[in-house]
Each structure stands twice: as C-alpha cells, then as structure tokens.
Amino acid sequence: MTRPPAKPGPKAPPRRALTLRDVSELSGVSEMTVSRVLRNRGDVSEATREKVLTAARDIGYVPNKIAGALASQRVNLVGVIIPSLSNMVFPEVLAGISEVLEDTGLQPVVGVTHYSPEREESVLYEMLSWRPSGIVIAGLEHSGGARAMLDAAGVPVVEIMDTDGPPVDSAVGISHRKAGRQTAAAILAAGYRRIGFLGTKMPDDHRARKRMEGFEAALAEAGLVLEDREFYAGGSALLKGREMTEAILRRSPHLDFLYYSNDMIGAGGLLWCLENGIDVPGKLGLAGFNGVELLQGLPRRLATVDSCRREIGRLAAEIIAGKRPGGVIGGEVLELSPVLHPGDTIRT
Amino acid sequence: MTRPPAKPGPKAPPRRALTLRDVSELSGVSEMTVSRVLRNRGDVSEATREKVLTAARDIGYVPNKIAGALASQRVNLVGVIIPSLSNMVFPEVLAGISEVLEDTGLQPVVGVTHYSPEREESVLYEMLSWRPSGIVIAGLEHSGGARAMLDAAGVPVVEIMDTDGPPVDSAVGISHRKAGRQTAAAILAAGYRRIGFLGTKMPDDHRARKRMEGFEAALAEAGLVLEDREFYAGGSALLKGREMTEAILRRSPHLDFLYYSNDMIGAGGLLWCLENGIDVPGKLGLAGFNGVELLQGLPRRLATVDSCRREIGRLAAEIIAGKRPGGVIGGEVLELSPVLHPGDTIRT
DNA sequence: TTGAAAGCGCTAACAT
DNA sequence: ATGTTAGCGCTTTCAA
C-alpha cells in the first residue's frame, strides 16, 4: 500500500511551504509586522493584529524556526544525553526535565549513548551543531573530546546523576559513594557481617562503580570485605535477580546480607527468597538502590536508597531555563541527600 | 556557587561561535571546499581534505546545522510525540525508534502530551516549526487542528501503537480491539464465565478503551457481560493493582476472572492473590496486557498479550528513514499480530 | 505603529 | 578539483 501518486485533491497541500511573505500578502501588511504579531513583539495595533492572525490561520501558516533561529541566534532546543532508555531510571529523569521545560517553550532533544564514551562524543557533537540553549548530560566522566566541546559550548551545561567529581559547569545529583557508604552503615548497624554484592557488569557505569566503592570502603573501615560477588549483563533484571541470588547463595550459603546494585535485581532476589522460605530479614538481609515505585507493590518493601531521579531532572531543567532561585546563572553543584528506606528487609 | 565572573583564562573560549570562514582562513581554502570536506560531498583532493580537517579540529569547529538546514532545506530531526514517559511503554517505543535512527543520522525530538489533545496540538505545532524529516505520533485520534497540520506537513507521518482506524499517512501498531477480543476468546475457551475488568480511568486513552470494547464485544457474542469493573488513576501501578483486586473481590467474590488493562496492575493483582492463598488459575484466572519484561521474574507468569512496543518503534523509524523493503515511500499500514501468552494464570 | 535594508552561516547551482 | 554567486526565511536595526 503506497501513497497515491500526486493525486491533486481539492485541497492539495502546497508543494512549497508557506512563508511569512504569504501571510504578508494575504493580510496586506509587511512581513516585518506579521513577524511581530506572530511573536507578540513590539507594538501592533489591534486591527492589524486581527488581520494577520486571521490570515495566518486561514492558510495554516507554521513559522519556520530554522530561519528564525538563524536570524535571532536563539534556539529553543535543549540537548539531553543519557546512557539508556531501557530501564525506568533515565525516562524518569527525562520526565522531570520535560515537566519543567513544558512551561518554558524549550524542547528536549534526546540522545542515547548506550554507556559508550565514543557514542557520547558523537551524540554531543551532533547536538551542539544545533546550537541548543543548554546541554543536560548524564555523569561526570567524558572523553577528552567531549569535555573540550562542553567547555567551549558557551551555553549552560548540567551534568546529572552524580556529584562525585568536578563538573564542567553545573551538576545536579547525588554522591553515589556516599550512597554506598550509607547503605553499608545501615547494614553494619543492624549486625550483618557476611556480605555479598550483586550487580551489573558495566565498566562504563561509573555510578554503579562508585556505589560499590563507597560500600566497600565503609566495610573496610569496619574491618570487613565483601565475601562474594555476582555480576550480570542484559536480560530481564527481575529474572536475573532471582538467578543471581540463587547462584550466590548456593556458592556462599553463609552470607547474611545481599547488596544489589539496583532495585530491579533486588526485587527479583527478594521474590526468590520469599518463595524459598528464607527468613528475610532475620537470617538474610537485602538492599537495593534507586527507590523505584515498583517496590511499593511487592510483598515486602526492599531496603533502598532513593536516587531522586525526577527531582534531578527538574532541577537540571530549571538551571537550563534560568529559573533557579536567586537568579544564579551557572556553576551550581546541587548535591541532593538521598534517604535510605530500610523497608522490611533489614532487621531492626 | 556561581560561575566566576568572566575570568579570562589562558584558553578563554571565543565569544563569537566559530564559522566556516574561520576554518577557511586557517586552512587557506574556500568556504565552499571546507563545507564539502566536512560533509563528505563532492570531489576533494586528499591534501586539501587533510588541511581542512586539521584546521577544523585545531580550533574545535562545530558546524552550524541551523544555517545548513536553512540553506539545504534538509533537517535531520524527527518529531516523536507520545502521551507519557511515566510507564515503560513509551520509553520502550522510543528505544526502538532511537535504535534505528542511530544509523541514519536522524535525531529524535521528544514531545509529551499527557494524553491531552490540546497539548498534542501545541507540541505538534512546535515540532513542525522545525520542519522535521518526519513525525511519529502515538494514536489515530487527533484534534481537527492537529489533523490538518499532519495532512499538510509534507513529510512522512507515522501514527503508532494503534491500527483501529484510518491513518493520516502510515500507521504501525496492533489492533487493540482484536487484542481485547483475543483475550476474551482465550478466557472463554478456558471456561471462565464471571469476569471483571480493572483499568485506568483515562478518557483519552483510546487504546485502553478499544481493548475493553473488543473484550466486551467478544463477551457479548457469548451472551455474557462484564460483571464488575474497577478503575484507578495515578500512583504505583503495582500497588494499585493489589488494592483494586482486593476491592473488586470483596465486592464481587463470585468472579472467576480478572482482566487488567495493563500488566503492572495485573502483576499487583497476581501478587495479592498469591499472598492471600487464592487458587490461581484454578479458582480465579488473571490476564493483563503489554507483555512487559517484568513478568518474567514474577512467581507465576501472568497471561498477557504482547503489544510489540519496541518493534513498533523500529518499524516507524524505518518508515521515516525510508528504509522499508521495496522502497515503499508512505501510506503503509503495518498491523502487527500480537501473541497471547497464556502464562500460568489461565487454566488449560 | 509600520516598513526597508541588511544580514544570520550555510549550501545549491553554476562557473572555472 | 576548486571557487563564485545568490539565496534559504526569518529577525535586527534603523528609519519613517
């Protein structure tokens, strides 16, 4: 089924796109005045205003922002560069961004890097070539080329998710090292001592890495080390959580706590434990990370640290939109303080 | 913490953005040739090529696509208009789109409508003003204004998710009426007769509505009607699923099947039933919709119909990118045939 | 309050 | 293989 070949109907759409000139001719007003009306700029008499608006509507004129942007050197686009769309984390950040931008006339352009520095660099190049009003980019670790571009961008740059390191310009996020430490502290305070870690095998997921580092550092200060680890890549996280939990407990049945690098695998582990009659949190404690909404509906609430995703998105968008209180312009570092929810899987 | 006031470092970024002219002067080659090199167009000697590339890299030149697009009348942006980012459904479609566009030099620009026709219209207007190479938009129902804009857009338009109705141009999706019928048929074939429905209270979610209509039509043909219904809005879907399930079963304990309008509330219902010792699927059957990955990790696999989200995104992107086999240009309607997975919650 | 002229930074089309 | 010219459709700036 293909499009009918040039069927010139009664209302055949114009081949050439409409321009200001078309509206100008139809309304008998100069292009300049039409432009003013359409942008609500400058003084225009009510009569002219009406004429122009009517003419524009009649022919279905849609302004050309390409030309407008070139002439005015202003672009209402914001580049958003994230590693992935395949788990809820980044869409939630994006939702926060989108929510705030909606009221500002700015539009997000999304680029996905799949955790590859090379892709990040090329996506960034692509975005900067649109001269966006701002860039929101996940993480603080970038290739040399990407860093140079961000430095020279000349627009607000907000690095999100992570504050463990120096930003190019502004940063909004949490300290993943602290989050790891915080979790370890709660686990140790509850008396658990034989601890295993389950996470993703992603060398370029710096935030997961930092959480684990913070976690291990806190253990080390208590004279402990991780007794076992299990890694995975890809697949249904909930299912992987089950499988990994079974595997690590089979190998190291003496463990009394499992720290998961995210809530989805943690939830899988929790379900597996419940089904297998393991005493949680009495004999085995569990904790995840992110504070995903899903946890609310599980039979027990998994212990977790909220990663403040939506709030991070909102704040990043506010910085780009110049809506920060006090009129602060850039160079802000907003480190949010995530709350640890002990839920029902750490004994008290 | 604010940006230091105009600290002119050793490598102060240029106030004026770099242009082709800068590269031209540095390399001693005309702007036109520089442009050719940077776009890999036309014949350029290897020597000049090197010179230009080096010069461009040295000063960190990033082309201005605004100007390029205006001059060439070509824009590598694709507008993607979706109702929401708050459940995995649309991010997954977006992931499919992004995946295919990555190899084509096209970039998605995302707009979110929150299921509001007015917002859809304004988001569409905004997008068309960038003269994108294509529009991907969820659903077949649009306001008069939106429809007129799509008709006149002059670029490929792909309406996704739904094929129950005439498209403006191309469409990729599934028939939600058929999906509803298909589910009803499986339920009836298994011998269930006293059926309840649980879903969202969203007047503008036409696809959920169509599934329910198809479902009820099939029941009617068997001389049955829905015996009870329960609706919700907002909140954690898994948690809502639990609450609604408890509520509907308290009110109508004689029900022998619950049809959920999506998998997340269905999963919540399933967990609730298991915890409350209800014999699933013996005494009570359950079914959801979407085929979300999450179901793989639950204690039982919920019956569901796969909504082919990622594939829909991929195909839509292929149409926009002109990559459809046979070189078909537009006006395609791709109705995918979703599979019903009976899982463990419909008795056999 | 309205209009005219001069570009914005690039590329199509046509030289050479 | 390289250069020249003339816009793309707007907005800025200045004039009336």
Going along chain A, which residue ranges are E strands?
Answer: 77-82, 107-112, 134-138, 157-162, 170-174, 195-200, 228-232, 257-260, 285-287, 304-305, 333-335, 340-341
- Put simply, the answer to whether A1 touches B332 (Cβ < 8 Å) is yes
- Minimum distance, in Å, between the CA of residue B161 and any CA atom of chain A: 18
Residues of chain A neighbouring B64 (CB-CB closer than 8 A): 129, 131
Model pTM score: 0.93
**Pair (A31, A168) in one structural domain:** yes
The runs of H, that is alpha helices, within chain B are 20-27, 31-39, 46-59, 65-72, 89-101, 117-128, 144-152, 176-189, 206-221, 237-251, 263-275, 309-320
Alpha-carbon distance of A341 to A204, in angstroms, equals: 27
Give B14's pLDDT tier (boundaries 50, 70, 90).
low
- Examine residue B346 and state whether it is found in any structural domain, yes or no: no
Distance in angstroms: CA A28, C1' D16: 19
Which residue in the block uniquely carries the two structure tokens 């929101």?
A: A136
**Pair (A182, A147) in one structural domain:** no
- Examine residue B1 and state whether it is found in any structural domain, yes or no: no
- Put simply, the answer to whether A77 touches B239 (Cβ < 8 Å) is no
**Pair (A186, A137) in one structural domain:** no
pLDDT of residue A13: 52
Give B327's pLDDT tier (boundaries 50, 70, 90).
confident
- Put simply, the answer to whether B297 touches A242 (Cβ < 8 Å) is yes
Give B348's pLDDT tier (boundaries 50, 70, 90).
confident
Kindly state the DSSP code that residue A65 receives in the 8-state scheme.
H
**Pair (A218, A294) in one structural domain:** yes
Q: Is B327 left (phi over 0), alpha (psi -120 to 50) or beta?
A: left
Q: Is A172 on the interface with B (CB under 8 A)?
A: no
Q: Is B59 on the interface with A (CB under 8 A)?
A: no
**Pair (B170, B43) in one structural domain:** yes
Instruction: Tell me the residue range of the domain where B91 lies.
Output: 7-174+309-337
> Chain B residue with minimal CA distance to A240?
B297
**Pair (A28, A170) in one structural domain:** yes
pLDDT tens-digit series, residues B252-284: 999 999 999 999 999 999 999 999 999 999 999
DSSP A267-328: HHHHHHHHHTT--TTTT-EEE-SB--GGGGGSSSPPBEEB--HHHHHHHHHHHHTT--GGG-
- Minimum distance, in Å, between the CA of residue A234 and any CA atom of chain B: 12
- Put simply, the answer to whether A85 touches B94 (Cβ < 8 Å) is yes
Give B11's pLDDT tier (boundaries 50, 70, 90).
very low
Contacts made by residues B225-228, CB under 8 angstroms, sequence distance 24+: B226/B195, B226/B196, B226/B197, B227/B194, B227/B195, B227/B196, B227/B252, B227/B254, B227/B255, B228/B196, B228/B197, B228/B252, B228/B255
Closest CA to A274 of B21, A283, A154, B50: A283
Kindly state the DSSP code that residue B223 receives in the 8-state scheme.
T
For chain A, give the longest Cα–Cα distance.
Answer: 85
Residues of chain A neighbouring B107 (CB-CB closer than 8 A): 109-111, 126-127
Tens place of pLDDT per residue across chain A (348 aa): 333 333 333 444 556 899 999 999 999 999 999 999 999 998 999 999 999 999 999 999 999 999 999 999 999 999 999 999 998 999 999 999 999 999 999 999 999 999 999 999 999 999 999 999 999 999 999 999 999 999 999 999 999 999 999 999 999 999 999 999 999 999 999 999 999 999 999 899 999 999 999 999 999 999 999 999 999 998 899 999 999 999 999 999 999 999 999 999 999 999 999 999 999 999 999 999 999 999 999 999 999 999 999 999 999 999 999 998 887 777 899 999 999 999 999 998
- Examine residue B228 and state whether it is found in any structural domain, yes or no: yes
Q: Is B58 on the interface with A (CB under 8 A)?
A: no
**Pair (B35, B159) in one structural domain:** yes
Angle made by CA atoms B231, B235, B240, in degrees to the nearest 5: 50
**Pair (B118, B190) in one structural domain:** no
- Minimum distance, in Å, between the CA of residue A223 and any CA atom of chain B: 36
**Pair (A162, A293) in one structural domain:** no
- Examine residue B296 and state whether it is found in any structural domain, yes or no: yes
Kindly state the DSSP code that residue B190 receives in the 8-state scheme.
T
3-class state of residue B189 by DSSP? helix
- Put simply, the answer to whether B88 touches A88 (Cβ < 8 Å) is yes
CATH of the domain at B66: 3.40.50.2300
- Minimum distance, in Å, between the CA of residue A130 and any CA atom of chain B: 5
Alpha-carbon distance of A51 to A163, in angstroms, equals: 54
Number of structural domains (chain B) is: 2
Alpha-carbon distance of B310 to B288, in angstroms, equals: 18
Residues of chain A neighbouring B332 (CB-CB closer than 8 A): 1-2
Percent of chain B with pLDDT over 90: 90
The answer to whether strand D lies under 7 Å from the CB of residue B86 is no
pLDDT of residue B336: 98
Instruction: Return the number of other C-beta atoms located less than 10 Å from residue A310's C-beta.
Output: 16
| Residue B21 pLDDT greater than 90, yes or no | yes
Alpha-carbon distance of A114 to A118, in angstroms, equals: 10
- Examine residue A232 and state whether it is found in any structural domain, yes or no: yes
- Examine residue B19 and state whether it is found in any structural domain, yes or no: yes
Alpha-carbon distance of A323 to A106, in angstroms, equals: 13
pLDDT of residue A14: 54
D chain positions with any atom within 7 Å of a protein CB:
1-13
Which residue in the block uniquely carries the two structure tokens 């080096």?
A: B54
Alpha-carbon distance of B279 to A154, in angstroms, equals: 63
Closest CA to B84 of B52, B116, B42, B40: B116
pLDDT of residue A140: 98
Q: Is A62 on the interface with B (CB under 8 A)?
A: yes
**Pair (A325, A315) in one structural domain:** yes
> How much is the average pLDDT of B58-82?
97
Which nucleotide lies closest to A71 by the C1' atom and the CA atom?
A: C8
| Residue B134 pLDDT greater than 50, yes or no | yes
**Pair (A39, A187) in one structural domain:** no
Kindly state the DSSP code that residue A77 receives in the 8-state scheme.
E
| Residue B8 pLDDT greater than 80, yes or no | no
Give the containing element (helix H, strand E) for B285.
strand B285-287
Integer CA distances (angstroms), B66 to A131, A180, A257, B33, B127, in order: 8, 44, 55, 19, 15
- Put simply, the answer to whether A112 touches B125 (Cβ < 8 Å) is no
- Examine residue A344 and state whether it is found in any structural domain, yes or no: no
Q: Is B202 on the interface with A (CB under 8 A)?
A: no
> How much is the average pLDDT of B12-29?
86
pLDDT of residue B15: 63
Rounded to 5 degrees, what are φ and ψ at B89? Answer: -55, -55
- Put simply, the answer to whether A296 touches B236 (Cβ < 8 Å) is yes
Closest CA to A159 of A206, A100, A201: A206
DSSP B14-79: PSSPP-HHHHHHHHTS-HHHHHHHHHT-S---HHHHHHHHHHHHHHT----HHHHHHHHT---EEE
**Pair (A117, A199) in one structural domain:** no
Alpha-carbon distance of B127 to B23, in angstroms, equals: 32
User: How would you class B156 by CB atoms within 10 Å of its CB: exposed for 0-12, middle for 13-18, buried for 19 or more?
Assistant: buried
CA dihedral B25, B27, B33, B35 (to 10 degrees): -80
Q: Please enumerate in sequence order all residues whose Cβ is within 8 A of that of A40, keeping only pairs 6 or more positions apart, or say none.
A: none
- Examine residue A48 and state whether it is found in any structural domain, yes or no: yes
Is the CB of residue B138 less than 8 Å from the CB of residue B90? yes
CA dihedral A205, A206, A210, A216 (to 10 degrees): 50
